[in-house]
Structure 1
Amino acid sequence: MVEKKLIKVKDLEVLVYKKNIKNFHLNVLPPEGTVRVSVPISVSDETVRLFIIKKLPWIKKHIKNFQSQSRQTKRRYVSGESHYFKGQRYLLRIEESKRPKIEIKNKKYIYFYVPKHYTQEQRENYYQNWLRKELKKELETLIPKWEKIIGIKVNEVKIKKMKTRWGTCNPEAKRIWINLELIKKPIECLEYIIVHEMIHFFEKKHNKKFKAYMDKFLPKWEAYKRQLNEFILEDL
């Protein structure tokens, strides 16, 4: 059983999860610096507040790191905008067409062919669906690759937009969720998240055993993690 609540500590909102665990686990999560703490079920809210206050310098340092990252403003899907795809920056070119279509040309431009009557919302929906299809193509290659390397079977992979996580999983069901935003990041960052979630099938906690698995299967995982968290973000 997990009890979830939001508590305020000074000017900070903290997601608190009370679980059947023995120790406190504190995380500042990308991409926005959301603060999450998991604590034993019996711990009082006041004890949680005292714990957070003690950790405030560490928390604020990590939040500042996330907030200092470069961010793109919300996309309007018009010519001249910068869009990221697989870690590379492209300029968007809008062309009028009877049917919508997206093509990458000259390793510099994303051509978006759009019917004249399309609203901004329709443009966004089509573009997001294109990103989803491109991410699905990558996953169809990368999941089998890493299943073979790690020696496990993933029963289901889902794609969704997430504000606080690049990926998550259900180890019992062997199900993985991947953040749609990862198709904008370098492919090695996507691989890092895939491996990270797969390793959780073996080990749920981010402990020495978990890190040993990561070192074994993806020796440069810490570099990929830093690269992912330093990469430009887009306001959702």
Structure 2
Amino acid sequence: MIIAMDGTTVSDLLQMDGYDAVVTYKAMKRLRLRILPPDGAVAISAPFGTPEHVIEQFVDQHHGWILRTRTAVRLRSPRPQRLDTGGRVRLWGAWTELVVEDASRAYARHTDGRVHILCPDGDEDAARRALDALHRRELEPALKRLLEEWQPRVGRRAAGIRMRRMTSRWGSCNTATAVITFNTALAKFPPEALEFVVVHELVHLLERGHGPVFKAHMSRLLPDWQARRMLLREGP
């Protein structure tokens, strides 16, 4: 479907699995792929006359990179993405289709492979509170299982567990009270990332700082902890 023409370029819309890509044909020698902020739009530049199946094959070859980069671009966006039907939210490391429905009370649930948010029409703040509450409900049993497994292995027990939305930390450990707080946004990331944060905060009950002793404990308990930490590199 031709969607734009300016005499020197022609743009087309290519529908791929899970996203659309805008293809712009130009006087150039090779295909080029870009992910554009703030929404992670997929933009492809192609030489005039390139067959559509060649472009589709090119996109398929870069499918994993496209998904990773779209995620990173969206997370770096200076404004939060709107919560609208047809959009996506992340849950346990996977992008999940979003359905927003009008209702008098704000609530979110994960069912049938989709996240449903019920809220008063147009109330973005209520929708985000409902989504945060969903993250909290998802996180609570996962934390319980991990703490039951890891507290005996670390040799320390938390005196209390809290969950709240934090803007700059994935977790925090008050070594004086042994109370550990976890960021509810961890429910957006793979379970392996949550396990890293659980072990990280429990190890602080052994060692307050992040020096060689702390790192030695982490490497003994969770040898791939540095790779798991990279799963959280985009930030809360």
With the length of structure 2 as denominator, give the TM-score of the two structures. 0.61
Shift of 1:82: 1.7
Bigger-Rg structure (1/2): 2
Q: Structure 1 residues 101 and 85, CA, compared in 2 at 3 Å: closer, same or farther? A: closer
Q: Does residue 174 of structure 1 match 2:181? A: no
Which residue does the alignment assign to 2:82? 76
Alignment map for 1:44-123 (pairs within 5 Å):
69-72=72-75, 73-96=79-102, 100-106=107-113, 109-112=114-117, 114=118, 119-123=123-127
Residue 127 of structure 1 corresponds to which residue in structure 2? 131
- Which AA in structure 1 matches 2:116? Y
Q: Distance in 2 between matches of 1:85 and 1:96?
A: 22
Distance 1:105 1:202, change over 3 A: same
Cα displacement string for residues 33-66 of structure 1 (whole angstroms, at most 9, x for unaligned residues): xxxxxxxxxxxxxxxxxxxxxxxxxxxxxxxxxx
Q: Matched residue of 2:116: which SS?
A: strand
Cα distance change, pair 188–117 in 1 and its aligned pair in 2 (3 A): same
TM-score by length of 1: 0.61
Distance 1:70 1:118 in 2: 25
User: What's 2:148 paired with?
Assistant: 144
Tell me which amino acid in the other structure corresponds to 1:77: L
Contact persistence 2:207–2:214 (CA under 8 A): yes
Gap runs ≥5 in structure 2: 1-71
Q: 1:205 aligns with which of 209, 214, 219?
A: 209
Cα displacement (A) at 1:169? 0.6
Cα distance, 1:117–1:183 mapped onto 2, change above 3 Å: same
> What is the letter of the counterpart of residue 87 of structure 1?
G
Q: Conserved in 1, the CA contact under 8 Å of 2:132 and 2:185?
A: no
Distance 1:137 1:211, change over 3 A: same
Q: Which has the higher contact order (CA 8 A, sep 6+)?
A: 1
Flag structure 1 segments of 5+ consecutive residues without an equivalent.
1-68
**What's the offset of the Cα at 1:101?**
4.7
Which residue of structure 2 lines up, in the alignment, with residue 23 of structure 1? Answer: none
**Coordinate RMSD, CA, aligned:** 2.3
Contact 2:97 2:115 in 1 (8 A): yes
State the Cα distance separating 1:185 from its structure 2 match: 0.8
Change over 3 Å in CA distance of 1:101–1:190 after alignment to 2: closer
